[in-house]
Amino acid sequence: MLTLVTYPPAFGQPSGSPFCVKALYLLNLSGLPWQRKDTPDPRNWPKGKLPALWVDDEIIGDSDNIRAWLEEHGARFDEGLSDLDRATSRAFIRMAEEHMYFHIVMDRWGDKAVWPLVRDTYFATIPTFVRKFIARGIRRVLLRGMDAQGLGRLTAGERLERIEPDLEAITHRLWQGPFLFGTKPTAADASVAAMLGAMASTPGGTALSRRVKEDPILVDYMARVADALG
């Protein structure tokens, strides 16, 4: 039996991490039997990150590596897609995971009004009297990295302008069908819907979460993916 090691559910999503949700979606799409193991602490897993897939005495870390392992063992996530669609799918996945994701990070860790809600969810297992101290240090390092990356230097309004073309690209694809590449979900849906779900579920009502939750095309799409793969 495959075991997905993942962060616990949070903010109404199957996991507090969209990459864990992506892995969960891919496992369901693969058709292979699996179970989940929740942990709030990633330190003992590959690269100190989650998700991880536990297979007998082997542990596969990172959602991309999990996808590759599943495909090596028979999963056909993009069956029926043309070479052009496969290339476009890869671009959508990278857009979601290497750009959209960091907007979620800034929404959750960078917004001073949102941060206490996120902190008390992510670090709930740490005693209250030391939680603020420990979380503050982790947050400081993370935001320093976001400043170096560049997105952390933008205002919330500038970030919203920056991500708008991504959201429009997704809705334009969805004019063609219920999923990004036709009538059934593929690997791109597992990544893109997971990121959109994380955006919409960020507590505190940020400008980005409102933008996603008020878009009927995106809302219906997230619901379809959750129904099909959740």
Average pLDDT, the chain: 96
Give the percent of the chain with pLDDT over 70.
Answer: 100
**Confidence (pTM):** 0.96
Burial class of residue 122, CB neighbours in 10 A (0-12, 13-18, 19+): buried
| Residue 93 CB neighbour total at 10 angstroms | 22
Token pair for residue 144?
Answer: 């320093």
Q: What is the mean pLDDT of residues 35-49?
A: 95
- Residue 59 forms beta bridges with which residues? 54
> What CA–CA distance (Å, rounded) separates 122 from 41?
10
Name the band, by pLDDT with cuts 50, 70 and 90, for residue 128. Answer: confident
